[in-house]
Amino acid sequence: MSAATGKPVPPMLATLGHPPTGERWAFESKWDGQRAIATTGSTPPKLWSRNGNNISASFPEIVDALSAVLDHRETVLDGEIVALGPDGVPSFSRLQRRMHVLKPTAQLRNDALTTYYVFDVLDIDGTSTTDLPYLERREALANLSLEHPRIKVPPHWLNVDGPTMLEVARTHHLEGQRHASTQPHKTARPPSKAGSGLCRSKPKIAVRPPGSEMTSKCDPPPSR
């Protein structure tokens, strides 16, 4: 959390690049949804957009699920809010029906039901986990036991190469793949300037037309 704003540090965004090859990489699916940081603790859970806006009121089913599984435990989670279509594939157009709606009706919630796909944990019980290597953060995330229909912790795959995983994403009509180094010293390190962003060491590969795969790096902070 930023001491100046009381909001979570914003996540980093993606830039152009290419999928990695060889081993020593972990891969996760890239979900087509709305990036969201979740904060839980002594007060009701909150969901924050990547721009630091409180979007909790738009997704009450996810807020209720976080309350149910964490029971006031203090955490900061990073993930993607996703709405699945009838075919089970993430549908951003369906999700857009929920975005910016502060009091969704029961009908709208049923028609465009959302799920929070959590892929990282940044703080547990007041202790930052961003200095931990990727695999240790994944273990810490698994130990939270976030088992709920509205919360998913997607799997990760080890020792497979980027082009193979990109083809898997295309086959299953996913947005792409996220990859992270599994080397022990690679952490989700904070930036050099406090409050300016967070570098995950988690590049992304998005399914796009040939020649335009996308990957992320540590970008400068977003403009205010």
Active-site residue set: 30
Kindly tell me the burial class for residue 17, based on how many C-beta atoms sit within 10 Å of its own C-beta (0-12, 13-18, 19 or more). middle
Region of 90 (left: φ > 0; alpha: ψ -120 to 50; beta: rest) is beta
β-pairing, 14-16 vs 214-216, is: antiparallel
Query: Going by C-beta distance under 8 Å and a sequence separation of 6 or more, which residues neighbour residue 67?
Result: 40, 44, 45
End-to-end CA distance of the chain: 17
Contact yes or no for 42/74 (Cβ under 8 A)? yes
Are residues 176 and 166 in contact, defined by beta-carbon separation less than 8 angstroms? yes
Type of residue at 1: M
